[in-house]
Amino acid sequence: MTTIEHMTTMPMTAPTTTPTPHRAQRALLARLVAAGVVTLVLAGCSDEASDKPATQTAAKVNKEEITVHQINFVLQQQRRAVPEDRAASASQVVLERLIDQELAVQKAQEQKLDRDPRVMQQLEAARRDIIARNYVERIAAGAPKPSPDEVKAYYSEHPALFAQRRIYTLQEIKIEAKPEQLDELRTKLAAAKNVNEFVNFLRGAGYQFAADQAVRAAEQLPIATLPTFAKMEDGQALINPTPSGATVLVLAASRSQPLTEDAARPYIEQFLLNERRRKVVADDLKALRSTAEISYVGAFAADRPASAPSLLEVTERKSPLIAAPASAPEIMPIRPAASAPAGSVLDRGLQGLK
């Protein structure tokens, strides 16, 4: 599971002078060298306001200058604010990394790496990516924020995520099986008294399988399947067909942990805003495609599907708390015929499953 997708518009302060093509290429090459040779990582740094001009020289490396503007740009990329008492030391750390980076760039240029076809291709790809990304961020920034009524409605429409939120202890069994064997798996799972009885059947029948156990909050489950999980009782199971067979999920135990509307509001607001940003960008690119002259050549023309959506038109619907896969194969809830009490199911855990 991953954290909520987040689209952030990062302000980029322009230098006071127009960079020459040579300097622009050096700057781009420096970024690539930094990614491959020197990693600029600062835990807990942010932009520091300075009374000094942004173009003031901070250091000289042979004949090249490193400016305060470059230091501030690196600090701007950090997500967490730096305490005031660490601001000076954070800037110094960035400067030392930039010096290392500059030395690597100068050596690379001595060896004419900046003229290497592969490097030039990377520079051009980086340039296009930066320009396109900034355009997308600018378009996305125009998305309207959700209203309080919209946030309230989303909260009410998703009780399993908020008012009736639960923490689930799940036992997962991934089974390799042929499509024609799924009915047998369903039947045996429905008749099993507990997990171990079903596992013993898998062993005896020669199925290949792997088992695991995990604790997941409601928002960490696929949002498409959450309503099904919300209806399950401890000791019940799901069987989920997969391309290689099936996955069985047993709800060993669960506990209630609701989230109030006030606590959920910032997550819902950000989620709805991100959804709108994705739609604004997808609609804009769709409009651009409709007015552009696009022709596919060679194999790309022959193999192109009748309708192929743009990558930005393919968006996943995620939980407003934690992102989760949007789509899931058919899911069939099954109540074991003689379920053991939830406590005993959990106490047994995964004994004998591995």
pLDDT tens track, the chain, 354 positions: 333 333 333 333 333 444 444 555 565 555 554 444 333 334 334 444 445 444 589 999 998 999 999 988 888 877 676 677 787 888 899 999 999 999 999 999 999 998 999 999 999 999 999 999 999 999 999 999 999 999 999 999 999 999 999 999 999 999 999 999 999 999 998 888 888 889 999 999 999 999 999 999 998 888 888 888 898 888 888 888 999 999 998 898 999 999 999 999 999 999 999 999 999 999 999 999 999 998 888 888 876 665 555 444 433 344 555 433 333 334 444 444 334 444 444 344 444 444
pTM: 0.59
Q: How far apart are CA 69 and CA 13, in angstroms?
A: 9
Q: At what angle do helices 261-291 and 117-140 cross, to 10 degrees?
A: 120
Q: How far apart are CA 112 and CA 32, in angstroms?
A: 15
The residue among 202, 244, 221 whose CA lies nearest residue 354 is: 202
Instruction: Give the model's pLDDT for residue 80.
Output: 73
Q: How far apart are CA 27 and CA 23, in angstroms?
A: 6
Q: Are strands 208-217 and 166-176 parallel, antiparallel or unpaired?
A: antiparallel
What would the two tokens of residue 206 be? 């020669």
Q: Where are the alpha helices (DSSP H) in the chain?
A: 21-36, 68-76, 87-110, 117-140, 148-157, 182-191, 195-204, 226-231, 261-291, 299-303, 342-348
Contact yes or no for 282/313 (Cβ under 8 A):
yes
> DSSP assignment, residue 59?
E
What would the two tokens of residue 171 be? 């036992």
Tokens 């990558």 belong to residue: 311
Q: At what angle do helices 68-76 and 87-110 cross, to 10 degrees?
A: 110
Q: Which long-range contacts (CB under 8 A, 24 or more apart) does 287-296 make?
A: none
Question: φ, ψ for residue 134 (rounded to 5)?
Answer: -70, -35
Contact yes or no for 321/161 (Cβ under 8 A):
yes
Contact yes or no for 9/138 (Cβ under 8 A):
yes
